[in-house]
Amino acid sequence: MLGVDRRWGDAVSAAAEALVTESETEARIAVELIGKTGMSHSERIKDALHRAGYADLVREQEKKTLEETRKAFDRGPDWKERFRHWSETETIFLETIAAVAPSAPLGIRERRGLDELVDFYYTLGVPESYGGEADWLAHELPEALCLYVESVAALSDFDLPKLAAEAAFVLERSDEDTSSLLYIPGKSREMADWSQITDPERMRDGLISLLKTVRFVAHTVAWSLLQAPAGLEVADAVRMNLPKAGSWRRQLAVLVVLDALPIQDALAQAGTWSKDPDPFTRSAVAHYAAVLVGTKWEDDELLIRTLEDHDGEVRDEALIRLKEKPLGAVLGTAVESAAEEPFPDWTCLQCATPNSGEQHSCGECKTVGPELKRHVGELLAG
Ligand SMILES: [Zn+2]
């Protein structure tokens, strides 16, 4: 499993954890990230802040969030509308889950626990998803939601009749506060048991189509595709059905192909893709080449091409993935040059808008761009 992150939120919380230790200014930036990602990742950021002695900053932030929520509710219909939309989303999710199998009768203890259902939510990745993604999936892509729920159910070791019964039980009590389901800590289970699948080709193609949906689904599915038996030729199947250029979906799918190919074939393919006009494709190559450093497959020529890329985000991807890798003299020099001014132009990872090298954040969506100087500094210091 070389490249693909299981959970997007890991990246956000790891970045925040790294910020915490630097200075109070950095800790304040990390505080702002609380609540911008899923529950457990927010908890991880809070823990890091507590450990570093910034408990007062966390308390301040929690007070601020509470006030903002109260103000938003006071402003009225917009927030209430969104809350209603979310309740509908939850109902759609529960109905889909309740349909995965005929229900088994539930004992009293199970009604109190709802263990299968809570873990299923975590395995789907709902609690860690970006705001709005679960809504989008439920309301705009109902067939994809159905396929996703069925695939997760088939590939993981859930007790399906019990899972269906728990979902039905919550639905029956939908007049009560069921959305609190998301606040019960659960754990994600492996979605990798291909041995029970009756039509593996169909499952593979279904998962590949889900790579083109939303992030939390695509990341879970990518991981699962990499666990598929070799005979399924996942690399070829994904390569023949790549998401279109110019989005994170393409980057993720390219990484799946590289990870799934035998390594020599992957290196040859990465060489071709390192000259692709699409920065997201090249960014996946940067990721892949950086992860290979320190292994016997290290390919400095490939990696250096990405560190010299004319798109700053491609360079930054290589730098980020080089963290804690041993850098020899040649790579050290290439890393150092990656942050030389003038900074290269860059393509926003979030919305694909091209930005000039002088811009710190995206002119369209304000997402922060590459931080070449900071990342090079960290690599050369460590
Ligand atoms: Zn943008």
In the prediction, which pLDDT does 1 show? 39
Q: How far is the CA of 48 from the centre of ligand 1 (A)?
A: 28
Q: Which amino acid is at 172?
A: E
pLDDT for the residue numbered 287: 97
Return the pLDDT at 186. Answer: 85
Domain range for 31: 1-75
135, amino acid identity: D
Q: Are the C-beta atoms of residues 49 and 33 closer than 8 Å to each other? A: no
Residue 168 falls inside a structural domain: no
User: Looking at the domain assignment, is residue 304 inside a domain?
Assistant: yes
Ligand 1 centre from 355 Cα, in Å? 9
Residue 194 falls within a domain, yes or no? no
363 Cα: distance to centroid of ligand 1 (angstroms): 7
How far away, in angstroms, is 360 Cα from ligand 1 center? 11
Res 22: pLDDT: 61
Å from CA of 41 to ligand 1 middle: 23
Of 50, 75, 100, the residue at which a domain comes to its end is 75
354 CA to middle of ligand 1, Å?
8
Pick from 237, 242, 244: which is nearest to 260 by CA? 237
Task: Report the C-alpha gap between 222 and 211 in whole angstroms.
Answer: 7
Q: Which of 75, 103, 119 is the last residue of a domain?
A: 75
110 falls within a domain: no
- pLDDT tens-digit series, residues 43-60: 777 777 777 778 777 777
Do 350 and 313 touch, CB atoms closer than 8 A? no
How many Å lie between the centroid of ligand 1 and the Cα of residue 351?
Answer: 4
At residue 324, the 3 state secondary structure works out as coil
**pLDDT score of 5:** 45
Q: How far is CA 191 from the centre of its chain?
A: 16
Q: Which residue numbers in the chain have pLDDT < 70?
A: 1-22, 35-41, 66-84, 109-112, 174-183
306 within a domain of the structure (yes/no)? yes
Q: How far does the centroid of ligand 1 lie from the alpha carbon of residue 364, in Å?
A: 5
371 alpha carbon to ligand 1 midpoint, in Å? 15
The CA distances from residue 249 to 221, 237, 349, 350, in Å, are: 12, 15, 10, 11
Number of domains in the chain: 2
Residue 206 forms part of a structural domain:
no
Which residues, in sequence order, are CB contacts of 50 under 8 Å at separation 6+?
Answer: 58
349 CA from centroid of ligand 1 (Å): 7
Domain membership of residue 257 (yes or no) is no
Q: Among all chains, which residue has been given the structure tokens 């509710």? A: 73
Among candidate residues 49, 75, 101, the one where a domain is terminated: 75
| pLDDT single digits (tens) 188-207 | 998 889 998 999 999 999 99
Determine, yes or no, domain membership for 214.
Answer: no
